[in-house]
Amino acid sequence: MNASQERLETLFAIASDISSTLQLEEVLQRVVAHASRLMDARVCSLLLIDKEAGTLRPAATHGASAAYLAQPDREVTASLTGEVIQTGRPLYIPDVRQETRYPVSELARREGLCTLLSVPLRTKTAIIGVLNVYTAEPRRFDENDIRLLTLLASQSAIAIENARLHRDEMEARERLRQSEKLAALGKLSAGFAHELRNPLNTVSMLVYAMAQEIDPHGPLGADLQVVQGELRRMTLLIEQFLEFARPKPPHFQRHRLEEILQETLLLIGPEARARRVAIYTEIEKDLPRVWVDGAQIKQVYLNLLLNALQAMPHGGKLTVRIHASGGSVLTAITDEGGGIPQDVRANLFQPFFTTKSGGTGLGLSISQRIIEGHNGQIRLFSQAGVGTTVVVRLPR
């Protein structure tokens, strides 16, 4: 068996191993490990396209140090590996340390990287990323080398897409199961909450009447104020729960988001001043009207803005930006609070999850459902000690 045939046999075995699992992370790690051994590489990295951000995101590496892994995402249109995406052709650089277009040549020297071969991860319909191999010493990759890595990349791209489809299917099934559970629970609980509302209203009226007959500065008056506060909180919880369990269908009309925002900012103005929070707005001129339910979007803005204020108990700056992007209009609300820990962030949009004393845990859940009901998206970005940004994307 000659060397070429032996490498093809190896490639066949690698392809079988990569395709033997549908777990995405496992597929990615197997690809870079096999590519590194097949090409006798110092470092191998696999980058996938983030279509929304327009960047190449490192998805898996083999043989890389912490410094290499700390590199930021690369712009597809402004990077060497991005050329592989745009042209669909392999990229060969004999020595990245001497290549003026290579943006991190100093890092390459520290890492002991020399020759780069980058090939596209191509499926039948699209290029989804790139596969990079770096050698420690100068090497001349011939046509056979390039063809071999290209074949591996093609097989890998198919395995990655299959794993993605499997992941999406599993997530869709889990969402369906959760939706069915919530629907059954919501139907039962909504009736229960509705029945609670009537006696709660009666108790609230009686306590109010009692408070009119009692000295508000006496011990009993102070107790009644606490009772009234708790009754108001219970009423709010029930109202929000009923809104969550029995959502109203949106009534769509053409609106200007900047006008809805300005109305909402007027509502939170006193709260912002009381908390010593300065509000700044950056609104793009001549924004298109969007097809939304104005009252529901105002509710979303109110929830998000109040969350931002509550994140800054000692004051700070709250910035709201609105701009058009493609076929959407984006609203970004940024606070200067302490940020949200990763473990908390993962549960923020879950019903009844809250980190606030006295919070209902329904504000973000309701907001997310409203935005999804408008065929939009709501995303949250947070950094400890810096603050949090919530971005709402609505189609025109």
Which CATH number goes with the domain that contains 265?
3.30.565.10
Q: What pLDDT does 190 receive?
A: 62
Instruction: Tell me: do 307 and 391 sit in the same domain.
Output: yes
Instruction: Tell me: do 46 and 118 sit in the same domain.
Output: yes
Instruction: Report the predicted TM-score, pTM, of the whole model to 2 decimal places.
Output: 0.50
Instruction: Tell me: do 189 and 300 sit in the same domain.
Output: no
Domain extent for 114: 3-166
List Cβ<8 Å contacts ≥24 apart for 5-10. 7/38, 7/144, 7/148, 8/148, 10/38
Instruction: Tell me: do 229 and 90 sit in the same domain.
Output: no
Task: Report the CATH number that the domain containing residue 132 is assigned in CATH.
Answer: 3.30.450.40
> The dihedral of CA 253, 242, 262, 305: what is its sign?
negative
Instruction: Tell me: do 240 and 262 sit in the same domain.
Output: no
Q: How many domains does the chain have?
A: 3
Measuring CA to CA, how many Å separate 168 from each of 162, 171, 240, 281, 333? 10, 5, 31, 37, 29
Q: What pLDDT does 173 receive?
A: 84
* Crossing angle for the helix pair 3-18 and 143-212, to the nearest 10 degrees: 10
Instruction: Tell me: do 14 and 146 sit in the same domain.
Output: yes
Beta strands in the chain (DSSP E): 43-50, 55-62, 74-75, 91-93, 116-122, 127-134, 253-255, 277-283, 290-292, 316-325, 328-334, 377-383, 387-395
What are the pLDDT digits (tens) for 239-276?
A: 666 666 666 778 888 999 999 999 989 888 888 888 99
Where is pLDDT greater, at 114 or 194?
Answer: 114
pLDDT for residue 300 is more than 80: yes
Instruction: Tell me: do 17 and 131 sit in the same domain.
Output: yes
117: phi then psi, degrees, rounded to nearest 5: -125, 120
- Boundary of a domain, candidates 115, 138, 166: 166
What are the pLDDT digits (tens) for 151-178?
A: 888 999 999 999 888 888 888 888 778 7
Among 55, 120, 125, residue whose Cα is nearest residue 85: 120
Instruction: Tell me: do 239 and 290 sit in the same domain.
Output: no
- Boundary of a domain, candidates 123, 143, 166: 166
Instruction: Tell me: do 52 and 194 sit in the same domain.
Output: no
Instruction: Tell me: do 152 and 15 sit in the same domain.
Output: yes
- Boundary of a domain, candidates 143, 166, 189: 166
Q: 361: phi > 0 → left, psi -120 to 50 → alpha, else beta; which?
A: left
Instruction: Tell me: do 149 and 225 sit in the same domain.
Output: no
Instruction: Tell me: do 259 and 317 sit in the same domain.
Output: yes
